[in-house]
Structure formats: structure tokens, C-alpha cells
Structure 1
Amino acid sequence: MVVLSEAEWRARESAHRDRVRQWTGPHRQRRHDGRKHPVLDFLFTYYSFRPSRLERWQPGFGVALAGGEQFLARRGYTETGDGVALSRETITDARLRTAEFVLGLLSATASRQPRLGCFGLHEWAMVYRTSPEQIRHSGWPLRLGHAGTDEVVESSNLSCTHHDAFRFFTPQARPLNPLQPERADQVRLEQPGCLHANMDLFKWSYKLDPFVPAELVADCFDLAVRVRELDMRASPYDLSELGYTPVRIETPDGRADYVRLQREFAEEAAVLRQRLIELCRDLLRWAEGAAPDARAQVHEPVHR
């Protein structure tokens, strides 16, 4: 059991809260003002982790908090000889199944080579041959107009491997994708070059709540924000009013830029994916009564 002094965990709690409020604060203000954001709202609507939960610090399992009596008000925390910590009783059968699924999915994804060069065409396929009122972000113009957008889709090779992106393709775009990924294909098809698979590391981190240290959740969210920005910069929408410079994937230079950024994100995501894999393995060992690896419980946030 790793033991954090009260000074240590309170400092981490404060640093975490300050870090994530750079995203949760503006989101709350936009919601208060009734304003939508075509890029960042996705992180709080498609994903189901509330801003208040993202702000809430937790140490993860195998960590005792000296002077941490306030955590006893949370479900699953108990008093130990070293301080307040998560109890093994929090590991229900449902949570074990989640950890096993996440471990299997992320291990399978990590075993594959990144497939680069999809060029973010999933966003284009979501508006292919639609009428203006059917466009998801109807308040924002298409850079190339409707005809130009359709032409890019028709002159490109769609290669989406991610079910949760593919399911939003228009009916006319679906047959243009050689793969027809279903939910049941997720473990078989997910690959580490996919922007959506890398954004989803945030989802898998909070699905393992409360066993994941808050810093790791925040690292995954940080990555998801930046990947989402690339996702929409490469989209057919003109978001220059919001300060997003387009990645013009309809041009050779734009496609080269996209592949370069996609590769960089794949490398960054690989580190976070491995951290989650190791955490799942250790959590399953802990559930069986083994002591968790103390090294795995010391999660320092990633700073760039």
C-alpha cells in the first residue's frame, strides 16, 4: 500500500483541479450562456463523464491517504491502518468484467501497427449527400460547399475501422467504406492510428472509475481534446472563426500534415494505452488478493 501524506495528496488534488478547470470552466460558461461549441462540446456530450467528476481528484486503488477522512463520504472508501483507501469490496463482478474487456481491447489495439492515412474522412462521410438541415453542425459552413464536399468523398478511399465513427456515416457513404465495422468487431478491428480509438482512451479511463488515479484520467482527457481539435480541423467545416486553422486534407500537403499529426498522436496514445493496460492487469491481480505493484500507483501527470 502506497501511503500519501496529507500534504502530498492535497497538493495533487489542488493541481488536478486547477489543470482540468481550463476545460470545465469554459464549458460551464458556454452552457450557462446557451452557446454551443462544435469542437469541444463533444468531450462532454459524446462522453458521459460529467465536468464535476473530471474535477474530482482520486488516488486510485492501492493508495492510502493519511488524514483522508473526507473520502469516507464516498462509496467504496474505508479506514485502514495507513489511512483511508479503496476497499476490495468495490470490485464487483460488473467492474471485473469491465476491466477484463478494457484489458482485452487495449491489448489487441496495442498489438497492431498504426494504420495512417484515413485523413479524417469520417467527418466528410457524415455529411455526404445530405441536405443543409441534416448536417450535424448546421451552424457552420462547409469549406468546399456541398458539391465540393461530396466530390472529396467520392474521389477518396474511405478506410474507417472504428464502429462509433462509422455508425454516423450517411446511408449513401456507408457502401463506400470497404469495412463495415459493427460493435462486435471492435476488439478485432480497433487499431492505434485511429483518432477515435485514441480519444476513447479517455472513455476507458473513466469506465474504470474509481480505480484509476485522477491524473491518468486527466492525461487521457488532455489527449482527447487535442485529437478532437485535429479531427475537426481536418473536417469539411470552416471553423476559422473559432481560431481553428483547417488541415486541408483535400490537398497533398494537407494530407501529409494530417498523417504527420496522426502519427504523433498515435505515439502519445501508445504510452497512455500501456498505462491503462498495466493498471487493468494490476487491478485484476488486486481483486484476487495480490498486492498491487506500488510503482503502478505513483501516477505523475504528463506535462508537455
Structure 2
Amino acid sequence: METLVGEVLSREAWTAAATAHAARIDRYAAPHLARRDAQVKHPVFDFLFTYYSYRPAQLRRWHPGHGVRLDDASEYAGLKGYADGAVTDEFVTSQRPLIEALHRLLKATAGRAGNFGCFGLHEWAMVYRLHEDETRHPDWPLRLGPSGTDEVVEQHRIACSHFDAYRFFTPPALPLNTLSPGREDRPAYEQPACLHAGMDLYKHAFRLSPMIGSDLVADCFELAWDIRVMDMRAAPYDLADLGFEPIRIETAEGKAEYVAAQREFADRGAPLRQRLIEECERLTAAGVATLA
């Protein structure tokens, strides 16, 4: 089968795009790699590079997406999905189950009303009834101490809809959640106000790489980065020494601040989610055309 190509980029054009993309990512990746070499952990900024499976080198590599051929691109020879400087139709067809699954999840999430009443309590439920040296970030104290943190959890309604947050709840916190999201039923629970659903737009984007352009992956990464900062500002840890002013969600003022930021992120995430939906549909159509 021939690979359908709608555009051919000269070496000068694509190397300029690749260089600009790498520089964009290096603002975030280079400090992480320096910390890693120095064996210094960062409770906020390491997350996107350690929790998600996409390595910094993969994120730095620019891809034009399916339908574009790179002229004189020996650097791409042997990369997964590529042949003759372009992502192949055969590769897109082979990824159809992933594309369709992501499309279902993204459409379901986009079609659901956002819940702006969770107040980031998932992070609090992850440390519920733990000693400070048992938390995920034991080098950083709990702002209200263990007993104060537990009281916040017990005094609020917990309604986490995101499985990858819920699964990290401590055992005593699990039954406190009003929902029971599972690994296989994400389309039934994901909602667009969820901070973790917003961060996961980055995961969905890199899973579609190299079939989609790296600009979209980077846009989703930068949204996830900003959400992570806000998520940890609202978490129970005291990160003031790192320059993070807490969002005190245990107060009425803190709740209002959290909801305002959450709405901004939902608004930023909506067009990115729609772009990913459209890319899934484009790739599905390309796969169908290849099979025809």
C-alpha cells in the first residue's frame, strides 16, 4: 500500500520546526533532567515525566503527523510508524483500536457536564490516616498536620470521578468516595472539570503520536503542566519553601479560588479535547480509506 501524503516538507522547513519544538519542550524538560542527574526530587515538576510513560527524549522529538512527508529525513528512518519520511497508512490502520477507544472517551467526556464541587480532595484522600513519613511526598510536611488533614477529608463529600486518582486513595478513604470509577469504565465517569482528566489530554495526545502533530502534544503538555501546579497548590502538602502559595480548600475563600481556576482549565481544555476528537476522526477516516 502507498502512504497517502498531502504535503511534503523540505529539510530546511522541518528541521526549523523540529528545533523550535525541542526548544519549547526544553523549558520544562532540561531542568527535570538536571535534577534527575543530581538525584534531586521535585514534588510538583517531576510528575509529568515520571507518572506518564512518555520520556523527555520522545516529547522533544517533533512529528508532523500522518499525511505529511519529510524530505531528506534520515533521522526518522527506523522510528516506529515511519517509512520514507512519513507515518505510514499501515501504521494508522494498526492503531485503529486505540484511536477508536480514545475517541469514545474524549467524546463522552466532552458531552458531560463538569463537576466543580470536588475541590481537589483527591489529594487529601491519598494521605488520609497516614503518618507524614508514609505519604507520596514524605520530604514535605502536611500543612495542617495528619489529624487536621484527616478532619478535612471527614468533613467533606468526596466525589472523585477519575480512576487514576481514586486508585491512589488510602484504604480508609476508598469507601468515602461517592463514586466507584474503574479502569474499564472511564467513558462512564470522566468529566471535563476534573483536573486529572485535563492532565490526561497530554496522555491521550502522546499515545496518538506520531500520527498527530507534535504541536498538539505540546499544547496538551503545557496545559497539564499548569494544572499540575494548581493541583499541588490545593493539595495538603506545605510547599511554601518551593514558592507555591497554598489554595486553602478547607476555607470558603479557598474553595472559591479553586473553582475559579478549575473553570479556567476546563475552558482551556475544551478546544484541545475537540482537536484530539477531530484528529481521531481524521485518522479513522484515513484507516478506512486504506482498507477500502
TM range (shorter): over 0.9
Structure 2 contact 193–266 (Cα < 8 Å) conserved: yes
State the shift of 1:117 in Å. 1.8
State the shift of 1:114 in Å. 1.2
Task: Give distance in 2, aligned partners of 1:120 and 1:279.
Answer: 30
**Which residue does 2:3 correspond to in 1?**
none
Q: How big is each residue's C-alpha offset from its partner over 1:39-76, in whole Å with a ceiling of 9 and x where there is no partner? A: 11111111000010011111110112233343234233
Q: Secondary structure at the match of 1:288?
A: helix
Q: Secondary structure at the match of 2:161?
A: coil
Please report the TM-score for the alignment, with normalisation by the length of structure 1: 0.91
Q: Secondary structure at the match of 2:206?
A: helix
**Which residue does 2:155 correspond to in 1?**
155
Among candidates 38, 49, 52, match of residue 47 of structure 1? 52
Task: Give distance in 2, aligned partners of 1:114 and 1:5.
Answer: 44
Among candidates 55, 64, 76, match of residue 59 of structure 1? 64
State the shift of 1:185 in Å. 2.2
Does 1:31 find its partner at 2:32? no
**Which residue does 1:296 correspond to in 2?**
none
Q: Secondary structure at the match of 2:165?
A: helix
State the shift of 1:212 in Å. 1.6
**Which residue does 1:90 correspond to in 2?**
91
- Give the aligned length: 286
Task: Give distance in 2, aligned partners of 1:46 and 1:151.
Answer: 28
**Which residue does 1:180 correspond to in 2?**
180
Task: Give distance in 2, aligned partners of 1:72 and 1:117.
Answer: 49
Task: Give distance in 2, aligned partners of 1:2 and 1:241.
Answer: 50
Task: Give distance in 2, aligned partners of 1:231 and 1:210.
Answer: 29
**Which residue does 1:264 correspond to in 2?**
264
Q: Secondary structure at the match of 1:38?
A: coil
State the shift of 1:92 in Å. 4.8
Moved over 6 A (4+): none
Q: Secondary structure at the match of 1:3?
A: strand
Q: Secondary structure at the match of 2:99?
A: helix
**Which residue does 2:195 correspond to in 1?**
195
Q: Which amino acid aligns with 1:275?
A: R
State the shift of 1:155 in Å. 0.9
Q: Secondary structure at the match of 2:158?
A: coil
Does 1:11 find its partner at 2:12? no
Q: Which amino acid aligns with 1:122?
A: H
**Which residue does 2:129 correspond to in 1?**
129
Q: 1:76 to 1:127 in 2, by over 3 A?
A: closer
Q: Which moved more, 1:169-178 or 1:230-239?
A: 169-178
Q: Which amino acid aligns with 1:276?
A: L
Q: Secondary structure at the match of 1:48?
A: coil
Does 1:114 find its partner at 2:119? no
State the shift of 1:214 in Å. 1.1
1:131-280 paired onto structure 2 within 5 Å: 131-280=131-280
State the shift of 1:105 in Å. 0.2
Task: Give distance in 1, aligned partners of 2:286 and 2:239.
Answer: 47
Q: Secondary structure at the match of 1:147?
A: helix
Task: Give distance in 2, aligned partners of 1:76 and 1:112.
Answer: 34
Structure 2 contact 99–280 (Cα < 8 Å) conserved: yes
Task: Give distance in 1, aligned partners of 2:125 and 2:23.
Answer: 38
Identity of aligned residues (%): 52
Q: State the superposition RMSD in angstroms.
A: 1.5
Q: Which amino acid aligns with 2:149?
A: T
Unaligned runs of 5+ in 2: 1-5
Unaligned runs of 5+ in 1: 291-304
